[in-house]
Amino acid sequence: MSQRCLPFVRSVWESFRANSGLEPRYLRITSARPGTVNFELDIRKEHTNRLAILHGGTIASMVDLGGSLAVASRGLFATGVSTDLNVTYLNSGGKVGDTIRAEVVCDKFGKTLAYTSIKFTNASDELVARGSHTKYVSFAWKDANNIVEELSPKGGESK
């Protein structure tokens, strides 16, 4: 697999940070390989609700962002637009000072749609939430910054 996957995904993340106001700040991408991205977020006050625990909206935003990063891990710089997003909350994500971890997988990657799934765990390695995100990627294939061929599995379907 390409050594460029993690730097490429991080470059997409930096583009999101530079051009969007909604992405959860302070998120760290810890690993990326074609089709899978791991990241974590140290919970700060702006990530919490009035009960002083991680806000469900922060998790939903991370499902959206995570799906985009999983698509980026397959080589698309322009990661498409959302067509569907789902979150199931299972436990508290934590409080200020805690860290929430995520692993997102690009389950299917096609010419028109990409399907992703994500799991969130807390510091005790308990499942906090899970989600899914579908992206319309048809126009994303035209971006000059793509490295799809480089991140495609050998012998696998790249489009």
Interval 13-39: pLDDT, tens: 999 988 887 776 789 999 999 999 999
Predicted structure pTM score: 0.91
Structure tokens at 95: 């409080």
Domain boundaries, the chain: 5-151
By the 8 A CB rule, do 32 and 73 touch? yes
Q: Which residues pair with 42 in a beta bridge?
A: 99
Residue 24 DSSP symbol: P
Name the average pLDDT for the chain.
92
By the 8 A CB rule, do 51 and 14 touch? no
Each residue of 56-92: pLDDT tens digit? 999 999 999 999 999 999 999 999 999 999 999 999 8
Selection from 38, 49, 42 nearest residue 25 by Cα: 42
* Alpha carbon distance 150, 34 (integer Å): 9
Instruction: Check residues 26 and 159 and name the one with the higher pLDDT.
Output: 26
CATH superfamily of 5-151: Hotdog Thioesterase (3.10.129.10)
Residue 136 CA, chain-centre distance (Å), reads 15
Each residue of 91-135: pLDDT tens digit? 989 999 999 999 999 999 999 999 999 999 998 999 999 999 999
